[in-house]
Structure 1
Amino acid sequence: MKKLGLLCLTLVLALGTLGVGYAMWSDTLTITGDVNTGEFIVVFDSQYDNDDSQQLDPSEERPLERIRYRYPRLDW
């Protein structure tokens, strides 16, 4: 009879330990922060074309071009 009581007590403690472990394991963990993936810098330093009738002035200020649809996508 004493061995049966010890076995029941051991099972109750084991199940309690498993319950506490599961409760700690299934707890929600939230991590907040900033992610930097890199930079995209384009520099055009030698401006030329195949047309000899026009001269390009590299010091001339030109508006920056906006890059649209940077990510792969499908437009219908």
Structure 2
Amino acid sequence: MPKMKTHKGAKGRVKVTARGKVVAYKTGKRHLNYKKSGKTIRLKGKKFVLFKGDARKFRVLLPYDWR
């Protein structure tokens, strides 16, 4: 059986914590920020835990990142 390949795009977008949660950054902070409030920009800089359904999809894309 050949080795499974890690999806490089998914690897750069999410991180799996020690307890197995999938964490990602919020979207919408790269550009066009002049029309957004400071509070919105600050909140978009934080990480958040993905929902179980989305995390399950990343389990397939990142086969070696699970504890």
Assess same fold via TM > 0.5. Answer: no
TM bin, normalised by shorter chain, reads under 0.3
Q: TM-score, normalised by structure 2?
A: 0.26
